[in-house]
Chains A and B, each alone.
Chain A
Amino acid sequence: MREWAEARVEDAGGRSTVILSGPMVISSIGHLDKELRAMTAPVQQIDLSGIGSIDTVGAWTVWRFASQHDAQITGATPEAERLIEAVRNAESTADITPPRSSIFIRVFEDVGHKVIEQWHGTVRVISFLGAIVISFFNSVVHRRFRMRALVRQMELVGVASLGIIGLMSFLIGIVIAQQGAVQLEQFGAESLTVNLVGRLTLRELGVLMTAIMVAGRSGSAFAAQLGTMKLTEEIDAMRTIGVSPMEALVLPRILAAVIMMPLLGFYASIVAIIGGATLSELALGIPFFTFLARVQEVVPMYDLYVGMIKAPVFGLIVALAGCYQGMQVQGNAEEVGLKTTQAVVQAIFMVIVLDAVFAVLFTKMGWA
């Protein structure tokens, strides 16, 4: 049972007195405060002689009411008086949230900001890329290459993701073979399933799905790591020591992604083909090794080149988005989440756009 603070009004000779009772503390004052705020009739006196314990919130409520009605406070214990004195000295009318302009202005303001931000963002990304290139040549020229960091990142981006990428690719291989077989069967061209699986995975899906997976796993990690390091001023600390965050943090991550993406993409394609072969052995009646041998015959070499040319570019995009967004973090923890999301979304979007551009380009080159 919670005991609440209460108020009673007494009129004597034209003077009305509010008599308070009960504990005047934050846990018991909720109802009393509402009651007092609703009271509009003039009050000349507030009697505190009947109250129990009091804290700053109780003292504040009494004092606010007293000053609103210009009433006199009586019966206060020395403790109550001290608290009232403390809170009245601390009164303020300052805003508790930053001032906001009206919704009408805010809409235009936001749109304007977005447009300008878009332009500035583009400029910043390009200068970020430039800074990476410069620090790459710097570190090569001065032989300051951070091999350990690079190897560590290659492990995180590449080796650590072998399991999940393998499983994903295996399943994709199975799905393509199975769905492809169902459709091709209608033309009696079931054997073309091999072409479908082999060419599609090496050319497109192996690398594309891997890029999406790396964006989700490593791009997001880059953004969150660098973002948190910016918040905790670790990056500022590095700069002051003379360590370039570009060389120490960004470059190893970018290079790791660029180096590991072709390897992962190739691995993914192979596993997908194995997935397709497994399914065709089990469901289509094409033996496993026959499937693999047929892949060798029907997939032209340039399909592999197409995949392997795209892979490092995708790796660059994913790592660039992650590192760039991470370095843009400032202010608070919410920003880290926001920038991480942006890193992943931008990376996947750019990868898909570039994939389409590559598709047109390679077809024009005759690698169709």
Chain B
Amino acid sequence: MNERADGAIFAEDTDDEIGGHYDGQYPIVIEGLKNAFGDQVIHDNLSLKVRRGEILGVVGGSGTGKSVLMRSIIGLQRPLEGTIEVFGKDIVGAPPEEETGVRSRWGVLFQGGALFSTLTVAENVQVPIKQFYPELTPELKDEIARFKVTMTGLAPEAASKYPSELSGGMKKRAGLARALALDPELLFLDEPTAGLDPIGAANFDNLTRELADTLGLTVFLITHDLDTLYTICDRVAVLADKKVTAVGTIPELLESDHPWIQEYFNGPRSRAAMQSALNARGVDSDTGLGA
């Protein structure tokens, strides 16, 4: 509760209806979060603030509770303690009907894609649209589905395919198309590039960055992919010891002496990823990430 000082920044957002717009500085604010399954405590006194318009990378060893953290923020996992505010609204205590106002303003890409298997890709994209905006004409809904599918880098023909007919990478893209269906302000991606080939992963990264810039998104990006961290994330949050141990840009994190962070960012894979990210920007590694 000691970080509450800048609470005044939150704009009084009285606009409770579907499709509002958030002008505050921190679309996600988590304080004192505790999650546990039985005796196994996953998060203990975890706090995190996500800035508007940033791509926040979330890293941490396997099983440290990254997915559980995301599920808590989107209201799928009820925490034992703590508060979570999204767009300045309390998620933990909110009755379900009040959450709808928030739900139409975020998009979620689950780790496994979680596409509706009995619907085509385009119909998957239309599910949230039909749910929240039934007044749109069928033509417009079809057109939206088509351009969303194409925007996420799928071939137009993929729109009429069923999820079982897609490859892993295509499923990820289709999931992204559905997450973007309502032009959300906030996008949650759970390991979007896991299991993609390096070219596919790099494309997906570029796509995320481009969409975030074009649409002005705030992105909560869980990833293990060091290239993703170096190339598109504005800041990185490290999950270890049941909390967010550090948040900051990668050069900032490198100064930390937490053993896991040191090992993670100073390992050979990390060095290679950093070098290639720097080369791509035409900067020498000794001069830092200034460019």
Residues of chain A at the chain B interface (Cβ within 8 Å): 2, 25-31, 33-34, 37, 53, 55-57, 60-61, 64, 79, 82-83, 86-87, 89-99, 231, 330-334
Contact = CB atoms under 8 A, between A and B. Distances in A.
B136 A2 contact: no
Contact of A92 (B120, B132, B146, B214): B146
Given A29-B136, A86-B214, 11 more contacts: A26-B182, A28-B19, A30-B137, A33-B140, A56-B215, A60-B143, A87-B147, A92-B159, A94-B156, A94-B159, A333-B117
B21 to A, nearest CB: 6
A57 B146 CA distance: 11
Contact of B123 (A30, A82, A96, A231): A96
Contact of B160 (A26, A27, A90, A97): A97
Of the listed residues A37, A79, A86, A93, the one surrounded by the most CB atoms of chain B closer than 10 A to its CB is A86
A98 B123 CA distance: 11
B162 A26 contact: no
The 10 nearest A-B residue pairs measured at CB:
A27-B19, A332-B117, A96-B122, A92-B156, A30-B135, A94-B156, A55-B183, A90-B150, A90-B151, A90-B147
A339 to B, nearest CB: 14
Given A30-B133, A332-B118, A334-B117, A61 B215 contact: no
B146 A93 contact: yes
Interface string B106-150: 000000000001101011000001001101110110111111111
A95 B144 CA distance: 13
Interface string B154-167: 00111111111000
Nearest to B120: A97
A26 B19 contact: yes
B98 to A, nearest CB: 17
A286 B183 CA distance: 77
Contacts of B129: 26
11 contacts: A26-B19, A30-B135, A37-B137, A60-B143, A90-B151, A96-B123, A96-B142, A96-B146, A97-B123, A331-B164, A332-B163
B143 A64 contact: yes
Contacts, number: 114
Contacts of A55: 183, 215
Nearest to B112: A232
A236 to B, nearest CB: 13
A25 B182 CA distance: 9
Interface of B: 17-19, 21, 104, 117-118, 120, 122-123, 129, 132-133, 135-137, 139-140, 142-151, 156-164, 182-183, 214-216
Given A26-B182, A83-B214, A56 B162 contact: no
A2 B19 CA distance: 9
Chain B's interface: helix, strand, loop or mixed, by majority? helix
Given A25-B183, A56-B215, A94-B156, A331 B117 contact: yes
A28 B135 CA distance: 10
A26 B136 CA distance: 9
Contacts of B143: 60, 64
B136 A92 contact: no
B19 A92 contact: no
A334 B139 CA distance: 27
Contacts of B21: 53
A93 B157 CA distance: 9
Contacts of B122: 96-97
A84 to B, nearest CB: 11
A26 B118 contact: no
B151 A86 contact: yes
A120 B151 CA distance: 43
Given A37-B137, A57-B144, A90-B147, A98 B118 contact: no
A30 B216 CA distance: 23
B146 A31 contact: no
B147 A30 contact: no
B183 A57 contact: yes
Given A27-B18, A27-B19, A57-B183, A94 B136 contact: no
Given A2-B17, A94-B156, A94-B160, A82 B150 contact: no
The residue among A61, A82, A96 with the most chain B CB atoms within 10 A of its own CB is: A96
The interface centre, meaning the residue of B18, B135, B147, B151 with most chain A CB atoms within 10 A of its CB, is B147
Contacts of A53: 21
Given A29-B136, A55-B183, A334 B118 contact: yes
